[in-house]
A and B are shown apart, each in its own frame.
Chain A
Amino acid sequence: MTATAAASENILELEDVHTFYGSIEALKGISINVRQGEIVTLIGANGAGKSTTLRSINGLNNPRRGRIRFQGRDITRSSAHDVVKRGIAQSPEGRRLFPRMSVLENLLMGTFQREDRNNRKAVNADLDRVYSLFPRLSERKQQKAGTLSGGEQQMVAIGRALMAHPKLLLLDEPSMGLAPIFVERIFEIIGEINSQGTPILLVEQNALMALDIANRGYVLETGSVALADDAKKLKQNEQVQKTYLGVD
Chain B
Amino acid sequence: MATEASRQQPVSRLRGFYAAGVVPWVGRLLVLLLFVWLGVNLVKTPADFGILLVEGVTLGLVYGLIALGYSLVYGILELINFAHGDVFMLGSWMTLYIGVQQIGLTDSSSTGKIIWGLALTLVCAAAFCALLNAAVERIAYRPLRNAPRLAPLITAIGASFILQDVGLHQLGPAPVSLPNILPTSTVFSIGGNNYTWDHLIVALTALPVLGLLVWLVQRTRQGRAMRAVAQDQEAAAMMGINVNATISFTFLIAGALAGVAGLLYALYSTNIQFDQGFTLGLIAFTAAVLGGIGNLPGAVLGAIIIGLIQQFNEGLSWHAPGSDWTQSIVFAILILILVFRPEGLLGERTPEGG
Determine whether the beta carbon of A98 is less than 8 Å from that of B238.
Answer: no
* Cα(A89)–Cα(B239), bound, Å: 8
Q: Does B339 contact A (CB under 8 A)?
A: no
Surface stretch bound by B, among A2-10, A24-32, A78-86, A121-129: A78-86
Determine whether the beta carbon of A81 is less than 8 Å from that of B243.
Answer: yes
* Cα(A80)–Cα(B239), bound, Å: 9
Surface stretch bound by B, among A62-70, A106-114, A178-186, A226-234: A106-114
Q: Does A158 contact B (CB under 8 A)?
A: no
State which of A79, A99, A109 has its C-beta within 8 Å of the C-beta of B239: A109
Across-interface contacts of A146 in B (CB, < 8 A): 350-352
Determine whether the beta carbon of B242 is less than 8 Å from that of A81.
Answer: yes
Which residues of B217-264 have CB atoms within 8 Å of chain A's CB atoms?
Answer: 221, 224-225, 227-228, 231-232, 234-235, 237-243
Determine whether the beta carbon of A90 is less than 8 Å from that of B350.
Answer: no
Determine whether the beta carbon of A98 is less than 8 Å from that of B240.
Answer: no
Which residues of A66-120 have CB atoms within 8 Å of chain B's CB atoms?
Answer: 79-81, 84-85, 89-90, 92, 96-101, 109-110, 112-113
Which residue on B lies nearest to A110, using beta carbons? B239
State which of B221, B224, B243, B352 has its C-beta within 8 Å of the C-beta of A99: B352
* Cα(A130)–Cα(B41), bound, Å: 61
Which residue on B lies nearest to A88, using beta carbons? B238
Known: A99-B350, A99-B351, A99-B352. Contact between A80 and B227, CB under 8 A?
Answer: no
* B 123-157 binary contact with A (CB < 8 Å = 1; else 0): 00000000000000000000000000000000000
> Which are the 8 A-B pairs with shortest beta-carbon distances?
A113-B240, A80-B237, A84-B240, A96-B235, A98-B231, A112-B239, A81-B242, A81-B240
Which of B224, B231, B240, B352 has its CB near the most chain A CB atoms (within 10 A)? Answer: B240
Q: Does A164 contact B (CB under 8 A)?
A: yes
Determine whether the beta carbon of A112 is less than 8 Å from that of B351.
Answer: no
Q: Does A52 contact B (CB under 8 A)?
A: no
Across-interface contacts of A80 in B (CB, < 8 A): 234, 237-238, 243
Chain A residues at the B interface, C-beta cutoff of 8 Å: 58-60, 79-81, 84-85, 89-90, 92, 96-101, 109-110, 112-113, 146, 160, 164
* B 42-67 binary contact with A (CB < 8 Å = 1; else 0): 00000000000000000000000000
Determine whether the beta carbon of A112 is less than 8 Å from that of B232.
Answer: no
Determine whether the beta carbon of A85 is less than 8 Å from that of B240.
Answer: yes
State which of A81, A100, A160, A164 has its C-beta within 8 Å of the C-beta of B237: A81
Determine whether the beta carbon of B238 is less than 8 Å from that of A101.
Answer: no
Known: A60-B234, A81-B237, A97-B235. Contact between A109 and B224, CB under 8 A?
Answer: yes
Determine whether the beta carbon of B239 is less than 8 Å from that of A113.
Answer: yes
* Cα(A100)–Cα(B241), bound, Å: 17
* Cα(A113)–Cα(B352), bound, Å: 27
B interface secondary structure, majority: helix
Known contacts A96-B232, A96-B238, A164-B239, then 17 further A-B pairs from the complex at CB < 8 Å, ordered by chain A residue:
A60-B237, A80-B234, A80-B237, A80-B238, A81-B237, A81-B239, A81-B241, A84-B240, A92-B235, A98-B232, A99-B231, A100-B350, A112-B221, A112-B239, A112-B241, A146-B351, A160-B239
Least Cβ distance of A150 to chain B in Å?
13
Least Cβ distance of B93 to chain A in Å?
37
Least Cβ distance of B190 to chain A in Å?
42
* B 313-354 binary contact with A (CB < 8 Å = 1; else 0): 000000000000000000000000000000000000011100
Across-interface contacts of B225 in A (CB, < 8 A): 112
Which of B228, B232, B237, B243 has its CB near the most chain A CB atoms (within 10 A)? Answer: B237
* Cα(A112)–Cα(B224), bound, Å: 9
Least Cβ distance of A56 to chain B in Å?
14
Across-interface contacts of B238 in A (CB, < 8 A): 58, 60, 80, 84, 89-90, 92, 96
Across-interface contacts of A58 in B (CB, < 8 A): 238
* Cα(A164)–Cα(B235), bound, Å: 13
Which of B221, B227, B234, B238 has its CB near the most chain A CB atoms (within 10 A)? Answer: B238
* B 71-102 binary contact with A (CB < 8 Å = 1; else 0): 00000000000000000000000000000000
Determine whether the beta carbon of B237 is less than 8 Å from that of A98.
Answer: no
Across-interface contacts of A112 in B (CB, < 8 A): 221, 224-225, 228, 239-241
Across-interface contacts of A98 in B (CB, < 8 A): 227-228, 231-232, 235
* Cα(A86)–Cα(B65), bound, Å: 39
Known: A112-B224, A112-B225, A146-B351. Contact between A101 and B231, CB under 8 A?
Answer: yes
* Cα(A79)–Cα(B234), bound, Å: 11
Across-interface contacts of B224 in A (CB, < 8 A): 109, 112
Determine whether the beta carbon of A100 is less than 8 Å from that of B240.
Answer: no
Which residue on A lies nearest to B231, using beta carbons? A98
* Cα(A84)–Cα(B234), bound, Å: 12
Least Cβ distance of B131 to chain A in Å?
23
Across-interface contacts of A59 in B (CB, < 8 A): 237
Least Cβ distance of A243 to chain B in Å?
31
Least Cβ distance of B250 to chain A in Å?
16
Determine whether the beta carbon of B234 is less than 8 Å from that of A109.
Answer: no
Determine whether the beta carbon of B231 is less than 8 Å from that of A84.
Answer: no
Which of A60, A90, A97, A112 has its CB near the most chain B CB atoms (within 10 A)? Answer: A112
